[in-house]
Amino acid sequence: MAVEKIGICGAGKMGSGIAVTAALAGYPVILEDISDDSLEKAMLHIRDQLDKMSVKGKVAKADADTAFNLISCTSRYEGYEDVDFVIEVVAENLDIKNSVFKKLDEICKGSVVLTSSTSTYSITSIAAATKRPESVCGMHFFLPPSKLIEITKGYYTSPASMAVCREVAERMGKLCVDVKKDSPGFIANRIYTPLFIEAFKAHEEGLASIEDIDKAMTTTYLPIGPFALADIIGLDVILSGLEYYEKEIGQQWKAPRSLKELVKAGRLGKKTGKGWYDYT
């Protein structure tokens, strides 16, 4: 199936970033969000992103303008009956995602491929909200932005849907890895999340400051420290993921007390101006 038009559900930082990437690859994009205010902010952010890329010489000014004009917005799924491919990027909450996929199942044509950018939840569970689980797969983009995409399958996902997902990702210039089993956290989060847990526990135990733990890890092994990365991802997102992993995989994924306290205090990371670090 040739993908000619893409729908993106969720106009936050990730959704608007994916819209830019898709439009630069030549895809017309319909960016959807329940909030008109979020859509307005997203379009301003998209324009700013493209202008900065043009100034830095990453894209020609004409190409940036063309990409911007390929992106339209809707708060009521207008035009979604014509899209060939959908990328869901709403809040990392299974109930919210299932609600979105139920709506997409009602609106979209039979040949559409529906994907979720979840970093946590089972694709099988998300696909269960539809009557077409064979057409649902995962397309996990990363934050901070990365060249990598994890392509994930649910129990019923067809090879054809996976192939379309890979084709779209590669046209966007992404490097794909296939997740062969529908397991919580997939590859990257499954392997990296225990590092979050140990870093948070080490700080709780008084082993070192958050600054020194980040410094130790960035000087030796990582491009960004675990506390700084956690603040970018969102501490509420990490806590929700850990609670899901604990339920699905076991007690070793239990969230550290300090993480729960920060979330309870509303210190969710960069998006609130305070997390492990203060940004205000």
Q: Is 106 a catalytic residue?
A: no
Q: Is 140 a catalytic residue?
A: yes
First to last CA, the chain: 48
Nearest to 9 by CA among 143, 100, 105: 100
Of 32, 88, 92, 150, the catalytic one is 150
Query: What does the alpha-carbon distance between residue 199 and residue 143 come to, in Å, rounded to a whole number?
Result: 19
Rounded to the nearest 5°, which phi and psi values hold at 7?
-105, 135
Of 32, 38, 135, 140, the catalytic one is 140
Query: What does the alpha-carbon distance between residue 71 and residue 139 come to, in Å, rounded to a whole number?
Result: 20
Query: What does the alpha-carbon distance between residue 90 and residue 274 come to, in Å, rounded to a whole number?
Result: 22
Q: Is 150 a catalytic residue?
A: yes
Token code pair at residue 99 = 């609600």
Across-strand partners of 191?
none
Nearest to 171 by CA among 153, 149, 152: 149
Task: Report the DSSP pairing between strands 148-153 and 136-140.
Answer: antiparallel
For residues 163-178, one letter each, b for 16 or more C-beta atoms within 10 angstroms of the residue's C-beta and e for the rest, the string is ebbbbbbeebebebee
In angstroms, what is the C-alpha Rg of the chain? Answer: 19
CA angle, 138 as apex, 137 and 139 as ends, to 5°? 125
A 10 A CB-CB count for 136 gives: 29
Is the Cβ–Cβ distance between 233 and 262 less than 8 Å?
Answer: no
A 10 A CB-CB count for 25 gives: 18
Of 38, 116, 117, 119, the catalytic one is 119
Of 116, 161, 189, 240, the catalytic one is 189
Q: Is 98 a catalytic residue?
A: no
Residues with catalytic function: 119, 140, 150, 189
